[in-house]
Amino acid sequence: MASNGNTYQRLALLASDTERAQEAHAALIAQGDWVPLAEADAVVVLGGDGYMLQVLHAMLDAGRVIPAYGMNLGTIGFLMNRYDKRAVLPTRVNKARRWTISPLRVEAVTHDGQIHVLNAINEISLLRETRQTAKIEVTVGDRVRIRELVCDGVLVATPAGSTAYNLSAQGPILPLDSKMLALTPISPFRPRRWRGAILPDRMKIVLRVLDPGKRPVAAVADQKELRDISEVRLEIAHDNDLTLLFDPGQSLEERIVAEQFITA
């Protein structure tokens, strides 16, 4: 959902440790009275998509989520706005449109029975750890849909993450307001003709690793990895909704639409 009319009075300024981001930080620091993240109404993030995800995860872990306005000083910058050192940031941030994205809440169970709770803003991926293919049972809702998926792995992507790893694995691009999830196999061997599914985000998904001793599998939630996984249980987490801020005419929704028409 998009909206505007912001009145953010206290802004925090964070930058990745890359040379470009640090130079931008030095150029912008004199623009206003920045406050620590814990005291801010919104945060300006300088870097790339990876650093934006890092900041969003840090806020989720801390239990205090505020709107984030990114300025691209990385590679792709799908979650970011164009960097312009001449822009007056407080004005630009307050003119930005708000977009809400919902992460996945993942319960990952390891071989030793430990349960780890993770957040995935883009996707959760299960990946084979060795040369042996993974064998995974796929349950959606209250039914086993695939008893044995033989593959290099499988992932579940949110709409915001559908243009990332999911797209590289030949998964579908999902409109931001679709309330859908993409369930996409990675190099599937059997069933040969199964290429994935688009699912309502209200449905719970369980991915159970078959023969985990011989065919170990790792789980990767955005940038966090756990090895020797037995099972993952996941669902959308609306109670952890995140807000990204975009300049007018540069929304995440438009970028998702535009991505589907790239021909070169």
What is the total count of domains within the chain? 2
Q: Is 19 annotated as a binding residue?
A: no
Residues 75 and 143 in one domain: no
Q: Is 220 helix (H, G, I), strand (E, B) or coil?
A: strand
Based on the fold, state whether residues 215 and 124 are members of the same structural domain.
Answer: yes
Quickly count: other Cβ atoms within 10 Å of residue 260's Cβ: 11
Q: Which segment of 135-144, 172-181, 211-220 scores lowest on mean pLDDT?
A: 172-181
Give the rounded distance of the alpha carbon of 74 from its chain centre.
Answer: 16
From CA 143, how far away is CA 150, in angstroms rounded?
19
The domain that holds 85 is classified in CATH as 3.40.50.10330
Tell me: the pLDDT tens digits for 199-209? 999 999 999 99
| Alpha helices by DSSP H, the chain | 19-28, 49-62, 89-95, 165-168, 252-259
CB 45 within 8 A of CB 71: yes
4 marked ligand binding residue: no
> Is 130 in the same domain as 229?
yes
In this prediction, residues 84-113 reach a mean pLDDT of 91
Residues 71 and 141 both lie in one domain: no
Query: Does a structural domain hold residue 127?
Result: yes
- Identify whether residues 61 and 159 lie together within a single domain: no
Determine the structural domain holding residue 109 and report its residue range.
104-237
Above 80 in pLDDT, residue 263?
no
Q: Is 26 annotated as a binding residue?
A: no
Say whether both 249 and 228 belong to one domain: no
Consult the annotation and say whether 164 binds a ligand: yes
Do residues 215 and 249 share a domain?
A: no
* 23 and 129 co-located in one domain: no
CATH of residue 123's domain is 2.60.200.30
pLDDT band for position 2 (50/70/90)?
Answer: very low
For residue 171, what pLDDT band results from cuts at 50, 70 and 90? very high
Q: Is residue 150 situated within a structural domain?
A: yes
pLDDT of residue 32: 77
Q: Is 178 annotated as a binding residue?
A: no
Q: Are residues 201 and 119 in the same domain?
A: yes
138 and 231 inside one domain: yes
Whether residues 114 and 224 share a domain: the answer is yes
Active site residues: 49
Long-range contacts of 3-8 (CB under 8 A, 24+ apart): 3/97, 3/98, 4/95, 4/96, 4/97, 4/98, 4/248, 6/42, 6/67, 6/93, 6/94, 6/95, 6/96, 6/98, 6/245, 7/94, 8/41, 8/42, 8/67, 8/90, 8/93, 8/94
pLDDT (0 to 100) of residue 5: 60
pLDDT digits (tens, 9 = 90+) for 29-73: 887 789 999 999 999 999 999 999 999 999 999 999 999 999 999
**pLDDT for position 1:** 46
Do 233 and 249 lie in one domain? The reply is no
Is residue 264 one of the residues assigned to a domain? no
Q: Using CA atoms, how far apart are residues 237 and 201, in angstroms rounded to an integer?
A: 10
163 is in an annotated binding site: yes
